[in-house]
């Protein structure tokens, strides 16, 4: 155990401690720890304008043709799915190998084949994205290409969902 300092030394420690605590009070003229004016953000700066990129008319025409092909393929698929919905539903509850079951399987196969235009358009758009993304020529605006790719991907996803619904024997439309 350490020996106790003399009484005068203890008094000196108490006075020194009180003085240090008084120095920390807000009434003193000490600088604030808040951010200084120079540390504040200086207004909002406008984002630099992106230069407009040249348009590739041939690419836009090809993208438009592929989007139209996919839209027509989607319309044909939807019409076919609506027409064969009842036969597929009958086949889902029929015994395997029976006439209604065979008719349902044939309808599902025809629907799978009817997806070809959308799948072909999606593949062609993916190919264009890859080609344009790795091209080392002039930079062109690929906004329409990206938009068409997203649109055709959505058509493909909706066809897949409808085919899965029909394959499960659910005819909701």
Q: Using one digit for the tens of pLDDT, what is the confidence trace for 55-108?
A: 677 888 898 999 999 999 999 999 999 999 888 988 888 888 899 899 999 999
Which tens digits make up the pLDDT trace of 40-58?
776 655 566 665 666 677 8
Confidence of residue 153 (pLDDT cuts 50, 70, 90): very high
Q: What's the confidence (pLDDT) of residue 38?
A: 74
d(CA 21, CA 24): 5
């Amino acid at each position: 155990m350490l020996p106790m300092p003399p009484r005068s030394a203890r008094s000196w420690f108490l006075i020194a401690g009180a003085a240090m605590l008084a120095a920390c009070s807000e009434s003193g003229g000490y600088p604030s720890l808040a951010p200084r004016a120079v540390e504040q953000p200086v207004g909002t700066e406008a984002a630099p304008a992106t230069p407009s990129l040249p348009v590739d008319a041939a690419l836009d025409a090809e993208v438009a043709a592929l989007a139209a092909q996919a839209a027509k393929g989607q319309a044909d698929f939807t019409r076919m799915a609506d027409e064969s919905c009842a036969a597929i539903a009958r086949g889902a509850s029929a015994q395997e190998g029976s006439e209604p079951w065979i008719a349902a399987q044939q309808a599902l196969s025809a629907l799978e084949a009817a997806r070809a235009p959308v799948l072909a358009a999606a593949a062609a758009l993916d190919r264009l994205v890859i080609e344009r993304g790795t091209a080392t020529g002039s930079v062109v605006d690929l906004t329409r290409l990206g938009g068409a790719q997203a649109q055709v991907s959505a058509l493909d996803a909706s066809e897949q969902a409808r085919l899965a619904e029909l394959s499960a024997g659910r005819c909701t439309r």
